[in-house]
């Protein structure tokens, strides 16, 4: 099949950015161009293909079946081209590279130990670690700009075209500053008596935290702030009586050092499995296989 000569990389790049971000405005911001320029590029692409790729829902755009098929195959093609370019550059420099996406939890817990193990076994391979929200990392993995992701198991729609290998289950904790007055197991009334710091919508733990509070008969209160940032929340908790719901791995070291304190909850609260996501059906390179082995060894060592 002959590819239409009008098709350019800018068409594919703009389309993938819109699909990834869910809006033309957000894609324009990511690409550092104007919104009209992105809209024009999308119109050109749809004219070249002779069909629409998105359904418009309010201010957002949602992939239709044709768009989803184009995303999957175009992302794979762009990924292959990117790998070819980087492979040539790495070969010229004399080395290999592994691109890993990690949730903040994984970046502070398993991944540093795994990176040291991997480095000892593969000193020739350069590691590039990126952090971000789970949905963005999985999108970058699907498009080929990441080789693997250490994060949480997403819902089936976000896992399309990907495989998942569990490492451990992640607990969610309610933490306070070390001198917080609440000492007994936390009950529903306690979460209304103190300011709450909650994970924002879009964070993977937002839904289980909201469901937990609802199960206690609590209408989700207006929080002091919504964040999953350790640096910010740690300082806030040390200067207030706020309670922060966060993944245990994020605050593991602070809890061990006594800088923060985990409240005892009336029922356990989990964020679900944490593990390794890969592109489904893709052959694991020696570098990917080596990092998987390092992550599993780090998990075993951590108990």
- Residue 270 · residue 212 · CB < 8 Å: no
Element housing 66 (H / E): helix 65-93
**DSSP3 helix / strand / coil % (the chain, rounded to 5):** 50, 20, 30
- Residue 178 · residue 256 · CB < 8 Å: no
Domains of the chain in start order, with CATH, are 1-93 (1.10.10.10), 94-168+273-302 (3.40.190.10), 170-271 (3.40.190.290)
The answer to whether residue 84 scores a pLDDT higher than 70 is no
Percent of the chain with pLDDT over 90: 38
Element housing 208 (H / E): helix 206-215
State the pLDDT at residue 140. 85
pLDDT tens per residue across span 193-250:
899 999 988 787 888 898 888 888 887 766 668 998 899 999 999 999 999 999 888 8
**CA triple 217-220-223, angle to 5 deg:** 140
Contacts of 58 (CB under 8 A, 6+ apart): none
State the pLDDT at residue 41. 92
Residue 166: other Cβ atoms inside 10 A: 13
Of 278, 301, 272, 303, nearest to 291 (Cα)? Answer: 278
State the pLDDT at residue 116. 95
Higher-confidence residue of 220 and 260: namely 260
pLDDT tens per residue across span 132-170:
888 888 888 888 889 999 988 888 877 888 999 999 888
- Residue 137 · residue 124 · CB < 8 Å: no
């Amino acid at each position: 099949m002959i590819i239409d000569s009008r098709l350019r990389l800018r068409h594919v790049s703009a389309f993938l950015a819109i699909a990834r971000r869910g809006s033309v405005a957000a894609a324009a911001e990511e690409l550092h161009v104007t919104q009209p320029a992105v809209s024009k590029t999308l119109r050109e692409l749809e004219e070249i293909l002779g069909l629409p790729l998105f359904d418009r829902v309010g201010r957002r755009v949602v992939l239709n079946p044709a768009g989803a098929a184009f995303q999957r195959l175009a992302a794979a093609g762009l990924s292959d081209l990117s790998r070819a370019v980087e492979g040539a550059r790495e070969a010229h420099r004399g080395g290999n590279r592994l691109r890993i996406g990690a949730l903040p939890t994984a970046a502070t817990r398993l991944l540093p130990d795994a990176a040291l193990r991997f480095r000892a076994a593969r000193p020739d391979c350069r590691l590039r670690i990126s952090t971000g929200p789970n949905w963005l990392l999985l999108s970058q993995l699907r498009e080929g700009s990441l080789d693997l992701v250490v994060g949480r198991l997403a819902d089936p729609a976000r896992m399309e075209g990907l495989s998942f290998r569990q490492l451990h289950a992640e607990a969610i904790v309610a933490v306070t500053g070390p001198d917080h007055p609440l000492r007994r197991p936390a009950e529903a009334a306690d979460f209304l008596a103190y300011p709450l710091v909650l994970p924002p919508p879009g964070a993977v733990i937002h839904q289980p935290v909201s469901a937990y509070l609802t199960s206690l008969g609590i209408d989700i209160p207006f929080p002091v702030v919504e964040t999953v940032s350790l640096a910010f929340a740690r300082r806030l908790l040390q200067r207030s009586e706020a309670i922060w719901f966060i993944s245990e791995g994020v605050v593991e070291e602070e809890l061990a050092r006594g800088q923060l304190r985990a409240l005892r909850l009336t029922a356990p609260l989990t964020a679900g499995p944490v593990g390794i996501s890969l592109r489904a059906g893709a052959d694991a390179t020696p570098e990917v296989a080596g990092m998987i082995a390092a992550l599993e060894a780090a998990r075993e060592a951590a108990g």
